[in-house]
C-alpha cells in the first residue's frame, strides 16, 4: 500500500505494547536490530535515521521492492497513555502542528494508524481538520466534523474523552493560548487541588510562585542526576497460574497448567523483541521446593522454560521446528537451484513407481491367500501327525519285543505276540479238561520265530518245554 499509493508519511499513535498487551505489530526495524533492516517477502525496509524528541520520534525508512525504492518518514507520538487521552492537550496540538509543517506543499497521502484504527486515529484526523479550518475561518462545528468522519468510517472518535479532547484543543486554538501558558495553568490547577483551603492568601500566592518559577533547560536530563535513594528491588511478587504443563527435573512432580503460585517477577535485562519487554518468573516446586524459572516469548506468543523443569511436549515441539526448518531450507534450495529441483522430482517419481510395485505385490498376495483352504491344510496336518505317531508306536513295540527275545526279560503286557502264545498254552490245558496256569519261563520264544509246536509237544506239554530248552 505504501508503494502503490505513493505514501511518504506515516503517523503512529500507539506503542507496540501497552499494559502488557500487544497493540501493534513491529512492521519497522529498530536501532538495536542487526543491520537495522527487516524483510517481508520481497519488501525490504532499512532504518536510515531515528530522532527522538520530547513527545514523538521521527524515523526515516528506505523501502525497496525490486527496482522500486522509496523513502518514508514515520512520526511516532509517544505521549498517549494506555487508557484515556493525553493529560496535556498541547502535546497533541504541537505534534499535529509539526506534522502539518512537514507535510506543507505535498499532495501525497498520509497513513494514520493506532491499534484499532478508529479511536486515536479519528481524534488526530479530527484535530487536523479543526486546525486547517481555523486558518481560514473563525468558527468551527466539531459535531459536524465527527459526524462526517463516522460516515466515512464507523466508530471514529470512539470515546467521550476523545470527543472532549477535541473541544479542549479547539478552545486552546480559538483563544490562541500558547502551549507554555496552558501547561502552567494545568500544572497549577493540579497542584492547587492538593493544597488545603486556608484563609490566608499569602500561602496560596507562595505556592503559585513556587510552581511558576520552575524552569528546566532544553538539555535537562533527570536520569543524569544522582539520587540518594537506594535502588529498588527489581523483583516483586505476583500471583500467577502456570502457563503450561511441566514436570520437575528433581523429583518428577507433575505441575498442571493453571496451578496457582506466588511467583517472583523481573525484567530480563538487555533482551527485547521489537521493543516489547520480556519478563522472567520464578516459582518453586510444590514437593521438593526446586526453583523453576521461565520467561515470556513474544516472538511466538508463548512462554520459554529456562531451568528447573521440562515441558511435556518440548521434544515434539523441537521436532516440529526442525522439520519446518528442513522444509524451508529444501524449498529455498529448490527455488535457487533448478538441478536440485529436477533431482527431487526424479526421486519422487522413482518412489511413486516403487510404491505402485509394492502395492501390486500386496494385491497378488491377497489373491493367493483367498484361494488357499486353511481348514483342509489343518486336516492334512493332523492326519500326517497321526500317521507319524502310529509309526513311532509300532517301532517302539518292535524294539520292546526284540529286547524281550534277546535278553530274556519278562514279557510286556502290551506285547500282542507273547499274549498269543500264552493263549495257546491255556487252550491246551482246557483240552485236558483242567485249567492250569503255566509256570513262568525264563526263556519264551515266539511262535513266529521257531515254527508250530510238534504233536508230542501238544500231547505232553512238559516234554515240549524240554525240547524247547534243548533246542
Residue-wise pLDDT for 86-114, tens only, equals 888 888 999 999 988 888 878 888 999 98
Euclidean distance between CA atoms 272 and 265, whole angstroms: 16
> Does 113 map to a domain?
yes
Provide the strand spans (E) within 187-336.
236-241, 246-248, 254-255, 260-273, 276-284, 291-297, 302-307, 309-311
Check pLDDT > 60 for residue 195. Answer: no
| Contacts of 430 by beta carbon, 8 Å cutoff, 6+ apart | none
Average pLDDT rounded to a whole number, residues 402-429? 54
Give the whole-number percent of the chain exceeding pLDDT 70.
73
Q: Same domain, yes or no, for 145 and 278?
A: no
Check pLDDT > 80 for residue 184. Answer: no
Q: Same domain, yes or no, for 40 and 75?
A: yes
Number of domains the chain contains: 3
Looking at residue 381, its pLDDT comes to 67
Looking at residue 241, its pLDDT comes to 93
Q: Same domain, yes or no, for 304 and 341?
A: no
286 three-state secondary structure: coil
248 is in an annotated binding site: yes
Average pLDDT rounded to a whole number, residues 382-400? 78
Least confident stretch, 139-148, 210-219, 299-308, 459-468? 459-468
pLDDT tens-digit readout, 196-249:
444 444 444 444 444 445 556 777 777 777 665 555 557 889 999 999 899 999
Question: Residue 350's domain spans which residues?
Answer: 333-369
115 pLDDT band, cuts 50/70/90, is: confident
Looking at residue 316, its pLDDT comes to 67
Q: Same domain, yes or no, for 147 and 98?
A: yes
> Does 255 map to a domain?
yes
56 three-state secondary structure: strand
> Does 243 map to a domain?
yes
Check pLDDT > 70 for residue 355. Answer: yes
Looking at residue 176, its pLDDT comes to 64
| Contacts of 134 by beta carbon, 8 Å cutoff, 6+ apart | 140, 170, 173, 174
285 is in an annotated binding site: yes
pLDDT tens-digit readout, 278-320:
999 999 999 999 999 999 999 888 899 999 998 877 666 777 8
- The rounded mean pLDDT for the chain is 77
Q: Same domain, yes or no, for 169 and 105?
A: yes
Looking at residue 191, its pLDDT comes to 41
- Write down the H helix ranges in 31-109: 89-103
Closest CA to 293 of 255, 258, 265: 265
> Does 149 map to a domain?
yes
> Does 260 map to a domain?
yes
Average pLDDT rounded to a whole number, residues 180-194? 43
Domain final position from 177, 194, 216: 177
pLDDT tens-digit readout, 13-60:
988 888 778 888 888 888 877 778 888 888 888 888 888 888 899 999
467 pLDDT band, cuts 50/70/90, is: very low
Average pLDDT rounded to a whole number, residues 422-446? 46
Q: How far is CA 365 from the centre of its chain?
A: 43
Q: Same domain, yes or no, for 96 and 243?
A: no
Backbone φ and ψ for 8, nearest 5 degrees, come out as -115, -15
Domain final position from 177, 210, 225: 177
Q: For residue 261, what are the β-bridge partners?
A: 240
Distances in whole angstroms, Cα of residue 28 to Cα of each of 5, 48, 345: 18, 11, 39
Q: For residue 61, what are the β-bridge partners?
A: 47, 72
8 Å CB contact between 257 and 217: no
> Does 22 map to a domain?
yes
Amino acid at each position: 500500500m505504501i508503494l502503490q499509493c505513493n505514501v511518504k508519511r506515516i503517523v503512529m499513535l500507539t506503542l507496540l505494547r501497552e499494559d502488557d498487551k500487544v497493540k501493534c505489530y513491529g512492521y519497522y526495524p529498530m536501532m538495536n536490530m542487526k543491520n537495522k533492516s527487516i524483510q517481508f517477502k520481497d519488501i525490504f525496509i532499512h532504518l536510515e535515521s531515528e530522532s527522538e524528541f520530547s513527545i514523538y520520534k521521527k524515523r526515516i525508512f528506505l523501502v525497496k521492492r525490486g527496482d522500486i525504492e522509496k523513502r518514508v518518514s514515520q512520526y511516532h507520538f509517544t505521549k498517549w497513555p494506555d487508557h484515556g487521552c493525553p493529560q496535556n492537550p498541547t502535546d497533541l496540538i504541537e505534534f499535529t502542528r509539526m506534522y502539518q509543517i512537514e507535510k506543507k506543499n505535498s499532495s501525497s497521502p498520509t497513513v494514520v494508524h493506532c491499534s484499532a484504527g478508529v479511536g486515536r486515529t479519528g481524534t488526530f484526523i479530527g484535530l487536523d481538520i479543526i486546525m486547517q479550518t481555523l486558518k481560514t475561518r473563525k468558527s468551527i462545528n466539531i459535531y459536524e466534523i465527527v459526524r462526517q468522519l463516522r460516515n466515512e468510517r464507523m466508530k471514529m472518535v470512539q470515546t467521550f474523552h476523545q470527543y472532549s479532547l477535541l473541544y479542549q484543543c479547539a478552545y486552546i486554538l480559538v483563544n490562541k493560548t500558547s502551549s507554555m501558558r496552558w501547561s502552567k495553568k494545568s500544572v497549577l490547577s493540579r497542584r492547587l487541588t492538593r493544597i488545603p483551603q486556608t484563609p490566608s492568601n499569602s500561602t496560596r500566592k507562595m505556592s503559585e510562585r513556587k510552581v511558576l518559577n520552575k524552569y528546566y533547560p532544553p538539555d535537562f536530563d533527570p536520569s543524569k542526576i544522582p539520587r540518594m535513594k537506594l535502588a529498588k528491588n527489581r523483583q516483586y511478587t505476583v500471583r500467577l497460574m502456570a502457563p503450561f504443563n511441566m514436570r520437575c527435573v528433581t523429583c518428577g512432580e507433575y505441575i498442571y497448567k493453571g496451578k496457582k503460585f506466588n511467583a517472583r517477577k523481573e525484567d530480563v535485562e538487555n533482551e527485547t523483541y521489537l521493543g516489547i519487554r520480556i519478563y522472567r518468573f520464578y516459582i518453586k516446586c510444590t514437593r521438593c521446593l526446586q526453583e523453576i524459572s521461565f520467561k515470556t516469548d513474544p516472538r511466538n506468543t508463548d512462554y520459554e522454560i529456562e531451568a528447573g523443569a521440562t515441558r511435556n511436549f518440548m521434544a515434539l515441539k523441537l521436532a516440529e521446528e526442525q522439520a519446518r526448518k528442513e522444509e524451508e531450507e529444501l524449498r529455498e534450495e529448490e527455488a535457487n537451484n533448478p538441478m536440485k529441483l529436477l533431482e527431487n522430482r526424479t526421486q519422487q517419481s522413482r518412489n511413486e513407481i516403487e510404491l505402485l510395485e509394492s502395492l501390486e505385490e500386496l494385491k497378488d498376495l491377497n489373491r493367493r491367500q483367498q484361494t488357499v483352504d486353511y481348514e483342509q491344510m489343518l486336516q492334512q496336518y493332523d492326519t500326517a501327525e497321526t500317521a507319524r505317531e502310529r509309526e513311532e508306536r509300532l517301532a517302539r513295540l518292535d524294539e520292546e519285543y526284540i529286547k524281550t527275545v534277546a535278553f530274556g526279560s519278562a514279557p510286556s503286557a502290551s506285547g500282542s505276540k507273547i499274549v498269543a502264545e500264552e493263549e495257546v498254552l491255556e487252550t491246551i490245558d482246557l483240552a485236558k479238561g483242567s485249567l492250569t496256569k503255566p509256570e513262568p519261563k525264563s526263556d519264551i520264544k515266539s511262535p513266529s520265530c521257531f515254527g508250530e509246536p510238534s504233536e508230542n509237544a501238544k500231547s505232553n506239554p512238559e516234554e515240549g518245554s524240554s525240547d524247547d530248552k534243548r533246542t
